[in-house]
Amino acid sequence: MSLLKKNETQVRVIYADTDAMGIVYHTNYIKWFEIGRTELLREMEVVYAEVESSGYYLPVTEAYCHYLLPARYDDILVVQTVISNVRRASIQFDYQIRNGGNGKILAKGFTIHAFVNRKGTIVRVPRDIMEKIRKWEESTSGE
């Protein structure tokens, strides 16, 4: 199942995110992917903090980022997130980070997450989460 609806969230680059090359250190884009997927899930009424308290975790099993152009101090970035694949026991999110000022795409990437229970055993995507994802995708408020 691949979804078309997108979430867009803004982040502002702070000094802590930059490195001595004068640009954003590369792992920070992957850290911002976390903000993107959390806000996408929240928009679907899947609050990750509640997913955890109901006994499920979504550890990252794969992460990839392609860096196209550097982000710099004080830039406002737009993290665009979409669910690109839902399998029996895993979910893939695709991301695009662009400069909020000029619209240029800075980075593209994905993360894949397994569904596990408290013991760390891989489990199916819980039914209520599947429902919320379907409902959100079918809602008319999308782009």
Three-state SS for 50? helix
Shortest separation between residue 4's beta carbon and a copy of itself, angstroms = 25
What binding mask, one character per residue, do residues 7-46 give for a copy of itself by CB under 8 A, x or -?
-----x-xxx-xxxxxx-xxxx-xx--xx--x--------
Strand partners, 141: none
- The smaller minimum CB distance to a copy of itself, of residues 73 and 126, is found at 73
Strand partners, 5: none
Shortest separation between residue 6's beta carbon and a copy of itself, angstroms = 19
CA distances from 76 to 14, 71, 79, 95, 125 (A): 10, 9, 10, 16, 34
Out of 64, 89, 104, 130, the residue judged to bind a copy of itself by CB under 8 A: 64
Please provide the DSSP assignment of 84-138 as one string: EEE-SSEEEEEEEEEETTT--EEEEEEEEEE-EETT--B-PPPHHHHHHHHHHHH
- The smaller minimum CB distance to a copy of itself, of residues 4 and 47, is found at 47
Judged by phi (left if over 0) then psi (alpha if -120 to 50, else beta), residue 73 lies in: beta
Shortest separation between residue 137's beta carbon and a copy of itself, angstroms = 24
- How many whole angstroms from its chain centre is CA 49? 15
Is residue 56 near a copy of itself by the rule CB under 8 A? no
Out of 6, 43, 63, 123, the residue judged to bind a copy of itself by CB under 8 A: 63
Residues that bind a copy of itself (CB under 8 A): 12, 14-16, 18-23, 25-28, 30-31, 34-35, 38, 47-49, 57, 59-67, 70, 72-74
